[in-house]
Amino acid sequence: MKVVLAEHYGFCFGVKRAIEIAESSKNASTIGPLIHNNKEISRLKKDYNVETLNNIDDIKSIKKAIIRTHGIPKNDLKFLKKNGIDIVDATCPFVTKPQQICEKMSDEGYDIVIFGDKDHPEVKGVKSYAKKGVSVVLHVDELENKIFSNKIAVVSQTTRKIDEFMKIVNYLITNHKEVRVFNTICNATFENQDAARNLAKKSDIMIIIGGKNSSNTKQLYNISKEFCEDSYLIESENELEKEWFKNKINCGVTAGASTPNWIIENIIGKIKEI
């Protein structure tokens, strides 16, 4: 069996940057998991004593807070400042952008539409920067009963698919006079997705590595599944099952934007053993 890695995979710019920031902030605590990868978070705890606080109310015990790649809501940031906590901002610059857009457009009187998952931490953070009249949607039908002013600004969660974003945008433009569209989808996501698609077409089994709660990893899995029925999403080499690989000739491997290289290498080693 031949094992081939996707042309683009794994850590994006924002995640690499956040890990470097965490590594140089020994003994600090992140507000929520720094990135969507439990194994990397354990490594940072072990090697750099970087803790993860799951509840912002627990900050009483800490001195230095690292803001995660996904950002945090505006009020949480205020709360940290009010409590005199040192802040190290590891928010991905591609996430800071839609936060700033939301704030500015809101100030200028635009209604805000965010294309994304309302429960995703990035979206919660971005949403918090809009003053009023903000809608978070994933599907066009969620827009149908909403009443907007004639000025609408639209941003996207950074890890969404452009085709789906365009459906939302098309609906808004067709029905409203002015729509200000900010394409805040991250190129790294595109690149990993395109590479996964190309590889899936040539593979008879695809292994997608990444956090099971990671939005971009799940999307890689969905894209892969479209072109290669035998696609599997795993977090570690222990989940690999021998029988998946029976009679397979070409095995493709890709990884979500929060997956460190050392995990990918472990898994490829194990596949080759099988």
Nearest distance, CB of residue 15 and a second copy, angstroms: 21
State which residue, 223 or 271, has the beta carbon closest to a second copy: 223
Interstrand relation of 205-209 and 250-255 (parallel, antiparallel or unpaired): parallel
Nearest distance, CB of residue 136 and a second copy, angstroms: 19
State which residue, 4 or 181, has the beta carbon closest to a second copy: 181
State which residue, 15 or 152, has the beta carbon closest to a second copy: 152
| Amino acid letter, residue 30 | T
Chain positions contacting a second copy, by CB under 8 A: 162, 165-166, 169-170, 173-174, 176-183
Nearest distance, CB of residue 187 and a second copy, angstroms: 11
Q: Catalytic pick from 40, 122, 235, 237?
A: 122
Q: At 38, which helix (H) or strand (E)?
A: helix 38-48
Reply yes or no on whether 239 is catalytic.
no
Nearest distance, CB of residue 169 and a second copy, angstroms: 6
Partnered with residue 254 across adjacent β-strands are: 208
Closest Cα to residue 210, out of 182, 188, 239?
A: 239
Residue 185 neighbours by CB under 8 Å, 6+ apart: 156, 158, 159, 160, 161, 162, 165
State which residue, 101 or 228, has the beta carbon closest to a second copy: 101
Closest Cα to residue 78, out of 70, 87, 69?
A: 87
Active site members: 122
